[in-house]
Amino acid sequence: MEKRLNNKLTMYRAAYAVLQKYSGIWQPVPVMVTLSDELKTAIESIETLSKQASESTVGVTESKNQLWEKLIKESYIITSALTAYAARTGNAELKNKVNYTESDLVNSRQNQLLDDVEKIYALAAENISKLADYGIVAAELESIRVNIDSFRQSMPGSRSTIANRKVSGQSLRELFAQTDNILNEQLDRMMEKYTKVNPAFYEEYKVARTIVDYGLRHEKVTETPAAQQA
């Protein structure tokens, strides 16, 4: 989650904590009870979605690493068989094209690995009838094709990755907008009643409604952090 949104979420929690501290004051007012419940639900929804997004990112990374390892292993097996075939038949041109070492593949950048694996796949497909004697069958080529496509889709620039991020971002933005509405348009207005009924409650709520920038600071600061009213 972006730092500014995380700071805003911290403000939401602080405002809710003040409401709970003074619950005995506002509970006789039905709308205040409803708004408090809605604020709690909104905070929990934001926390849940944020956590899911974080876990999803970890899952994608783990899956991507697994695909990377599979691509290297499968590609090296196939290119080794192609190299052996080229050497046995005296096909120097083919040998030059497929004579990769395992280190060549392991140390490749993502885009380079995909380019190399695509070449290996294409050359293996051209010579698949010859590779049967070397233990390579069509099913293995199909497996590497699937893994190539899956790995490509997992890359940051892929359309599916961008679409997933967009959906997640929109959902969080909607939740923050809904929570802002609960506070700005409703709770803040309802709190005016307590300027006379319970000034301490009102003042603590107003302080809690201040968004504090909890960003990292690299120099010593003596003044209080800059703040803004939501």
Average pLDDT, the chain: 81
Closest CA to 93 of 134, 135, 126, 128: 126
Both tokens of 86, joined, read 């080229």
| Contact partners, residue 190, CB within 8 Å, separation at least 6 | 29, 31, 32, 35
Q: Are 1 and 50 in contact (CB under 8 A)?
A: yes
Q: Are 155 and 161 in contact (CB under 8 A)?
A: yes
Q: Are 153 and 160 in contact (CB under 8 A)?
A: yes
Beta strands in the chain (DSSP E): 210-212, 227-229
Give the predicted TM-score (pTM) of the model.
0.48
CA distance 75 to 13: 51
Could you identify the residue written with the tokens 């709770």?
Answer: 187
Residue 52: what pLDDT?
A: 67
Element (DSSP H or E) covering residue 17:
helix 3-21
Residue 214: what pLDDT?
A: 58
Residue 22: what pLDDT?
A: 96
User: Which residues are bridge partners to 212 per DSSP?
Assistant: 227
List the chain residues with pLDDT less than 50: 56-60, 62, 158-169, 216-228
**What does the pLDDT look like over 53-98, one tens digit per residue?**
655 444 445 477 888 888 889 999 999 999 999 999 999 999 999 9
CA distance 225 to 210: 11
Q: How many CA atoms lie within 13 A of 183 on its CB side?
A: 27
Residue 37: what pLDDT?
A: 93
**What does the pLDDT look like over 22-32, one tens digit per residue?**
999 999 999 99
Packing angle, helices 138-154 and 159-180, rounded to 10 = 40
Residue 108: what pLDDT?
A: 82
